[in-house]
A and B are shown apart, each in its own frame.
Chain A
Amino acid sequence: MQEFLASLVSVAFHGLAYGMILYVISVGLSVTMGLMGFVNLAHGVFAMAGGYVMLSAMNSFGVPFPLALAAAFIAVALASMVLERLLYARLYTAGELEQVLFTIGLIFMSVAVARLAYGPLPQPVHLPEYLKGQLHFLGRDFPAYRVFLIVFSVSIVGLLWFGVERTRWGAMVRAAVDFRAMAQAVGINTSRLFALTFALGSGLAALGGALGADIIAIQPTYPFEHLVYFLIVVAVGGLGSLRGPFVAALLIGVADTACKYWVPEFGAFFIFFATIAVLLWRPEGLFGKEAA
């Protein structure tokens, strides 16, 4: 019993850390899909790019961890803004098929660039000394880095929710998600809003990729391999919402960790079955808007 309890706590803890990372990466995807109706399969590319920026800043230039993290966010956000203006913006009115193909093309290109620049192997992660080791807590040991991860992600999520629920920018985003034409009619510059929101979402993905480099290895096939999970978070959670993907990410994080811990022979079955079941029950996702 004691042992079972210990493993329960451990699964919940690691699942929580994984789920938070999934959420930080995917929330931008939910917003871009909900706001712009854009099927951006290349979202994982931003997460991978964030991971690479942080790791090469730390490993090659000896930049301290917090600065490298900030660099990942800023670099990827800026780069994504350029991409959005040059390429994505042209396809907002195009069909789903074009968007899917275009973003698959981006994935192929980024995989090739990553492999050319860094080789096919996962990048080594050297955590700073103060985040290594264990924290004692309620008579148990928890890896310090995961604790930091959870706390940091929670504060980011808090900030994000505050931004969306309480600021003028958030009100504009919510208005545009609900009814874009009306938002434009009352004078909201939606294309600038799109660019900013896209950059923020990509920056968050970069932050998630960088933070999670220890959990989800940074390697060239990253955008392909983890795409399913990011999409599941968004599709199960519901487009354009912040709460939905949060619940979905935590569920997936904990369920996936639990399955791999207790029934490794079933692997990821549960996740896919659950996804299929949820989407059949509610095609618009758990917290999505009812289809008009």
Chain B
Amino acid sequence: MTHAGGYVADSRIRAIEWLPWVLAVICFFAAPTYVPLGSYVLTMIIFALSLDLILGYGGIITLGHSAYFGAGAYAAGIFAARVTGEPLLGLLVGTLAAGLLGLITGLIILRTRGLALLMLTLAITSLCLEVANKATDWTGGADGLGGFKVQPILGLFKFDFLGKTAYLYCLVVLFLCWWLVRRLVYSPFGASLTGVRENNVRMHAVGAPVYQRLVISYTISAAMAGLGGALLTQTTQFVGLKVLGFELSGELMVMLILGGVGRIYGAFVGPLAYLVAQDYLAKQFPEYWYFGIGAMLVLVVMFARGGILGIIDALIARVRSRPS
């Protein structure tokens, strides 16, 4: 698969890159009924960005990224239930917990490649799910963890019923994540990650610290996934076992592929398209919806490997190449 993206010398922010943020703010004012859905979309974009960093740029194929999302979600939930409902501290706890888990598991599993790596990611998620399922005193088990209060952000902004605070809160966090990922991807570090993805052997040959780079990116990605999970916990004030499931990992992959792997804005477009379509279709035709995403995945793999953004790129290239 030829991924778009990679090392670009000119890392200045282009004008069009402000478009998502403008749209996000417009949505906030223009469509207040969709604000709760919007918060969820923003959370999933953070999660998709984190996956994009290791899958799209680092080339690590994982079936278990929900382990870190879930770890962050549960850490934030347990922290809110047992210690304090201060949201920023909760975010920090969720991020650190998932980052630590990512560091430990990354150190272990990134020594392997291929099927073994795929299996290990799956096994770790299954293990986390089993822990959350059995440690009912802490996690509530199959009933989920709820009933905790999240305090106002900085003591000023209360979480309201309409979800307006939550939306802006998610938007600010997403902005920070976007800034970080963008910096990483355009840095020499990002370039070396892309190198590992494109040709692992050659990166070893030129003396790049491949394992170390992979572990660092894996840890960052896990921490960011945990941040997303913690956000979900705080905005919905509930954590269920679903955040650790294999199906969430699968769905996330679908979103990222739909948008376009290995490009920052693929992680923006994919969750948006997927979740809005889901909101319209899934409630009315749940079976057809599942069939539809399956079929879409197969079609994307067969015919449009760059996702939505890849299609747009191809269209633009075609228009430009046409003699006027």
Contacts and interface: CB of A to CB of B under 8 A. Distances in A.
Interface of A: 33, 39, 87, 90-91, 94-98, 100-102, 104-113, 115-116, 224, 227-228, 231-232, 235, 239, 265-269, 272-273, 275-276, 279-280, 283-285
Nearest to A101: B301
Contacts of B120: 275-276, 279-280
B255 to A, nearest CB: 12
Nearest to B59: A97
A105 B294 contact: yes
Interface in B93-139: 108-109, 111-116, 118-120, 122-124, 126-127, 130, 133-134
Given A98-B305, A105-B298, A276-B124, A239 B115 contact: yes
A280 B113 CA distance: 11
A104 to B, nearest CB: 5
16 contacts: A97-B61, A100-B61, A100-B63, A101-B253, A104-B254, A104-B294, A105-B296, A108-B291, A110-B294, A111-B290, A112-B287, A112-B289, A235-B115, A268-B126, A276-B123, A285-B116
Given A235-B116, A265-B134, A273 B297 contact: no
B130 A87 contact: no
CB-CB nearest 8 A-B residue pairs: A108-B294, A105-B297, A109-B294, A112-B291, A112-B290, A283-B116, A105-B298, A235-B119
A110 B294 CA distance: 8
Interface residues of B, number: 45
Given A39-B115, A224-B250, A231-B119, 12 more contacts: A98-B305, A100-B61, A104-B253, A105-B296, A105-B297, A224-B247, A228-B123, A228-B246, A232-B123, A235-B116, A267-B133, A267-B134
B112 A279 contact: yes
Majority SS at the chain A contact face: helix
Interface of B: 1, 55, 61, 63, 108-109, 111-116, 118-120, 122-124, 126-127, 130, 133-134, 246-247, 250, 253-254, 257, 261, 287-291, 293-298, 300-302, 305
Given A269-B130, A276-B124, A106 B294 contact: yes
Contact of A272 (B126, B253, B288, B302): B126
B130 A267 contact: yes
A133 B1 CA distance: 56
A105 B257 CA distance: 11
B287 A273 contact: no
Contacts of B134: 265-267
Given A96-B61, A109-B291, A283-B116, A101 B130 contact: no
A116 B246 contact: no
A226 B2 CA distance: 32
B153 to A, nearest CB: 37
Contacts of A272: 123-124, 126-127, 130
B298 A106 contact: yes
Nearest to B115: A235
Contacts of B288: 112
A226 to B, nearest CB: 11
A105 B301 contact: yes
A102 B298 contact: yes
A36 to B, nearest CB: 13
Contacts of B126: 228, 268, 272
B247 to A, nearest CB: 6
Contacts of B124: 272, 276
Given A97-B61, A100-B63, A280 B291 contact: no
Nearest to A273: B127
B295 to A, nearest CB: 6
A197 B126 CA distance: 31
Contacts of B246: 224, 227-228
Nearest to A95: B1
A106 B296 CA distance: 10
A21 B181 CA distance: 46
Nearest to B256: A101
A104 B130 contact: no
A84 to B, nearest CB: 14
Nearest to B297: A105
B112 A115 contact: no
A8 B301 CA distance: 49
Contacts of A94: 1, 301
Contact of A39 (B1, B118, B254, B287): B118
B298 A87 contact: yes
A232 B119 contact: yes
A98 B287 contact: no
A15 B270 CA distance: 44
Contacts of B123: 228, 232, 272, 275-276, 279
A111 B247 CA distance: 12
